[in-house]
Each structure stands twice: as structure tokens, then as C-alpha cells.
Amino acid sequence: MDFRLWPDEMDLLRAEAREVVDTTGAVMPRAELHPGMTRDERIAAHRATHVVPPEFTVPEAVDRGIAGVPCRVIAAAEPRAVYLHFHGGGMVAGSPMMMDIPNRELARRLGMTVVSVDYRKAPEHPWPAGPDDGVAVAGWLLEEAGREFGTSRLLLGGESAGAYMAASVALRIRDELGAPDRVSGLNLVFGVYDWGRTPSQRGARPQEGFDLLDPEGIEFFTDCFLPGRSDDERRAPEISPLYADLAGLPPCLLTVGTCDHLFDDTFLLAGRAAVAGVEVDLVVLPEMPHAFMLYGCGITKAWMEETSAWFAAHLDA
């Protein structure tokens, strides 16, 4: 049996992708960590790398509170759906502004009003504070989006820790809010779905190469988000979506690169969701690391086109 995770034409783009990642990776901003740093000093260093310069924010974005949670809203001119978005940052750092430019493009090209949630961060606010904020905003949107934004159609998505947030919130929309049919799709980009740490999180990746993540950093984020718990305790279904009952989730687009330390999380979640009867589209990008959209090449361009086509199909459904 020929088991292929990407189309043949993707192989023609691998050499370019490898060169771009190797060249660009060395200059990517990373937290400056030193031996002997305290936990607070490490957190401050990680947060400093996620500060967004003013030139990467957009004037269309409006900061407002929704269900008592700070959010950043980019309205579509003729909204077809609301995209409930969650940013990345290891559940420790980051803000909605990180994705201002891509979210504005979603609003413009696909007619989705984007609501990006500034959920509470660890270690000041460990689990379940962040997901609780996401569920609060989702519940408000289920009730008010039609009146407030002109559409009641809802999609969820995010990147890295934001993909974890989207998956976790979607499961709670199903279980706590009783409204799984109100969500039209989940866009889950290189997420973490096993807080007990998969083999790739621990360093056993399917492909070696540059990555913005490393096992030590992942373990640090995990300890901040879920302090005092064993790996088995961190795999409780209410914490780690990989161990949850996935039946009844909306259609999912899951994307990851082969050099990503979170590769196994996406690959395993895609398989379990498909067996549970969920409509799954899995996009695997050879040679690409975590946060692959930062590296402009033919592979990332193909991913953007495939993602846009997926959104368009589920907006038309």
C-alpha cells in the first residue's frame, strides 16, 4: 500500500523549504535563556519575544470585552461567519495582536468576522482558566453573534496553544453548552493535544531539522500550565483533547510540519478523530517546523491556498 502524507508535487518544493528554514531560522526571535534563571525570569523572556510591534497591528482591529474576557475583533464587511480565534504562546505568552494581519486577511477574503480571545495565561492563571475564558466567549457568541455581528455561523481555530484552546473549547461546547451542531468547523494548526507529552514533544521527531520548539521549553510551558500534576494526570480527557471522546466534533482541518516537536499531537489526534467519525482533513508539510507560516516558500503558499479552500467549502456548506 502506498501511504503518502502529502502529494507528489510537494516533494518538488522540499529543497527550497529546507533552504528557507535553515537560512531564516537562525535569525528568528527566540527567548534569551541562561543557566540559573528563575522561573519568573524565564517567563519574562518568553513573553518579551511575543510582544507585537505597532507596525504588525491593524487599524481595523477593535479591543472589546466579551463575556468579561478581553477580545480583539476584526469585522468583515459582509460577514458570512464568526471565526473564534485563539493565539499561540505556550499558554504562558502571546496576545491576539500576534495574528492581526492574517486575521484581517480572513475577514477580507472570506467574509469572516474574527473574534480573537486574550485568554488568561499561566502560571498566574493555570488550567482551566484559559479554556474557561474561551468557553465564556463561545457561549456569548452562540447567543449574541447573530444580533451583534449579523451571522450566527461559528468556526473555531488557532495556532499552537491556540489550537489546543480551540479543540478544548469545541469539546466543551459539545459537552457543557450542548451545541456541537452550531460549530461549522475547526482549524487546528500545529497544536498541543497531549499535555503528558508525546514522543515528538520529548524529542523523538519523525524528521530532524530546525524548530522553534524544543523538549525543555515544552516541559517548562507544561509545568507552568499544569503545575504539580504527573504526566498521567495531565492526560485526563478534560485536560488533553487527545484522550477525550472526539465523536460529534465538527469537521476539522489539522496542519503540522514534519520537523515540529508537536508533530505527533496532530497526527494522533487526526487518526483518533477520523475513527470517531469526524470529518478530518490532515495537511502534513515536509521540512517545516513549528510556526511554519513565518517561512515564506512554496510549501507555505500551498498551505495558505489549501486552508482558504477549506474555509470556503465550509462557509458554503
Sign of the dihedral defined by the CA atoms of residues 225, 25, 295, 7, in that order: negative
Query: What share of the chain in percent tops pLDDT 70?
Result: 100
> Above 70 in pLDDT, residue 35?
yes
Query: What share of the chain in percent tops pLDDT 90?
Result: 94
> Above 80 in pLDDT, residue 205?
yes
Question: Residue 254's beta-bridge partner residues?
Answer: 188, 282
> Above 90 in pLDDT, residue 80?
yes
Q: Are 137 and 165 in contact (CB under 8 A)?
A: no
What pLDDT, in 10s, does the model give residues 155-197?
Answer: 999 999 999 999 999 999 999 999 999 999 999 999 999 999 9
DSSP letters for 104-141: HHHHHHH-EEEEEE----TTTS-TTHHHHHHHHHHHHH
Domains, in order of start, for the chain: 8-316 (3.40.50.1820)
Confidence category of residue 150, pLDDT binned at 50, 70, 90: very high
Average pLDDT of span 250-270: 98
Ramachandran angles phi, psi of 133, nearest 5°: -65, -40
What pLDDT, in 10s, does the model give residues 215-243?
Answer: 999 999 999 999 999 999 999 999 999 99
**pLDDT for the residue numbered 174:** 98
pTM of the model: 0.97
What ranges in 51-121 are assigned the alpha helix state H?
100-110
Average pLDDT of span 293-302: 96
